[in-house]
Amino acid sequence: MAKILDFLKKEFLEVLPAVIFFFIAFHLLALTESLILSEHGVPASTMALVSVSALVVGKAILIADKLPFINRFPDKPLIYNIAWKTFVYLLIALFFRYLEELIPKLLKHQSWSLAHQNIQAEIVWQHFFVVQIWLLVLLFVYSIGVEIVRVIGKPKILEILFGA
């Protein structure tokens, strides 16, 4: 039982910074989205959905960080890995945004092609691109943080931020 608790504690502590970052980031996105959509009377995402999305994407990003190709440019200036990770994270976030739209439509239409066609017919491209631009900037900031921690080290970062 102690091994299971130690494993869960380790996993929780490992995922916590990413989840906190994405929790704040996705709530900022949801606030922006609700402000834009409220002018047109369109309902926005619920806070519960945004919170669950932050948990899922936070964990997915950490899984991506374990992939062998994620640190593709270890001997180059940091911007290479920052740009690469931002791109990979953006692809992951796009995938989860697509799934977020697909699953309810799939349950309704019982067909992958009908669900996908329904998504394409209903998408508001301006809204999509506003959210993607926000997400790109936030993922870029997250990637900068990840790379700085990787280079300097977590203990040194904690010392810089919070003292000895």
The residue type of 132 is Q
Residue 130 has pLDDT above 70, yes or no: yes
Tokens encoding 157: 């970062």
Q: Does pTM top 0.85 for this prediction?
A: no
Per-residue pLDDT of 68-106, as tens digits, reads 888 888 889 999 999 999 999 888 888 877 887 888 888
| Exposure string for 140-151, b = 16+ CB within 10 A, e = fewer | bebbbebbeebe
What is the dihedral angle through the alpha carbons of 59, 60, 61, 67, rounded to the nearest 10 degrees?
A: 120
pLDDT at residue 42 in the model: 65
Retrieve residue 39's tokens.
């002018």
The DSSP letter of residue 43 is -
Summarize pLDDT for 67-78 with one digit per residue, the tens: 888 888 888 999
Which pLDDT value is given to residue 106?
Answer: 86
